Amino acid sequence: MKFTIFQDSRIGGREHNQDRLSYCYSRDSLLMIVADGMGGHLHGEVAAQIAVQYLTEAFQRESRPRLPDPVLFLSWGFSNAHHAIADYAAAHDLPESPRTTCVACVVQDGCAWWAHAGDSRLYHLRGGRLLGRTRDHSRVQLMVDQGQLTPEEALHHPARNRVYSCLGGDHTPQVDFSHRTPLVSGDVLLLCSDGFWGPLDETLIEKSVAGAGIMQAVPQLMAEAERRAGAGSDNLSALAVNWEGGGEDARLAVETRTMPLDAHTTQMEGFRAPGQRDPTLTEEDIERAIDEIRGAIRKYSR
């Protein structure tokens, strides 16, 4: 495989960053994940961390060097992450389970498969044109689909952040899966939280990615999203891959053909990452949270 990849998470105008993101690749397979936690302080972060960490660790176990079935991996990965979050809530006697949206994508054999719950999105772009994106599990998206709102009106609707599917919570999540999607050289897959896409229109995303490589375009889009959202900007996270692309991104391309069959490279941000670190958490708080997350995940690891 050959690709260029970029990820970043910013706290925006909030006191805490409840977004988490990760990518991990073997010689023949790549996994990308973005999760946006919901719930009281620390609990939203924990839900997102459980989702991202569970899927990443499962990928490390299963992709040696490729996944036997990407769709099945995403299906049981989302399901087990959901149950691990619910177990965490039960173990801590929380009145309400923490929750997280999640979007994840596997690239393997020159094709992509993705799944999502909630309103974290994936965009598939080719040659400056949007080929497709995930459909939000939100009340506002339902209203758009039913013709009650225009897409422009949806951007400013007061209920735009209310989702009806997520990992964690009391109900089994609705998870949507893509078809097997062949990629061509230069295709871009962009995964992001609603803090990123919410202030931006799709035309701007298309033009920005077409006009520059992801290493330049995505940071500029993040800055523009923050500027448009103003002082109350949500946490915003983005993870983008340029598949076998050229241009300026080619200088930073990853080549995996010489990797050992059982090797993995992982970039996963957690409580200590610069974009996530909460100054109100002590080292003891962080260590305790990490141990509790490991405990919640362990039951569903095989």
CA separation, residue 67 to residues 53, 56, 70 (Å): 17, 13, 6
Segment 127-142 mean pLDDT: 90
Strand ranges in 11-64 using DSSP code E only, listed in sequence order: 19-25, 29-38
Confidence of residue 250 (pLDDT cuts 50, 70, 90): confident
Residue 41 has what pLDDT?
Answer: 67
Minimal CA–CA distance to 198: which of 173, 167, 224, 165?
Answer: 224
Contact between 32 and 258 (Cβ < 8 Å): no
The Cα–Cα gap between 84 and 62 comes to 19
* Residue 158, number of CB atoms within 10 A of its CB: 7
Residue type, 131: L
Beta bridge partner(s), residue 69: none
Segment 90-111 mean pLDDT: 93
The Cα–Cα gap between 125 and 188 comes to 5
Residue 286 has what pLDDT?
Answer: 85
Residue 301 has what pLDDT?
Answer: 87
Residue 284 has what pLDDT?
Answer: 87
Confidence of residue 98 (pLDDT cuts 50, 70, 90): very high
Residue 159 has what pLDDT?
Answer: 65
Confidence of residue 39 (pLDDT cuts 50, 70, 90): confident
Contact between 202 and 260 (Cβ < 8 Å): no
Domains recognised in the chain with CATH numbers: 2-298 (3.60.40.10)
Cis-peptide, bond into residue 199, ω within 30° of zero: no
pLDDT in tens, 8-20: 999 999 988 999 9
Cis-peptide, bond into residue 65, ω within 30° of zero: yes
Classify residue 91 as exposed, middle or buried by CB count within 10 Å of its CB (0-12, 13-18, 19+): exposed
The Cα–Cα gap between 89 and 256 comes to 39
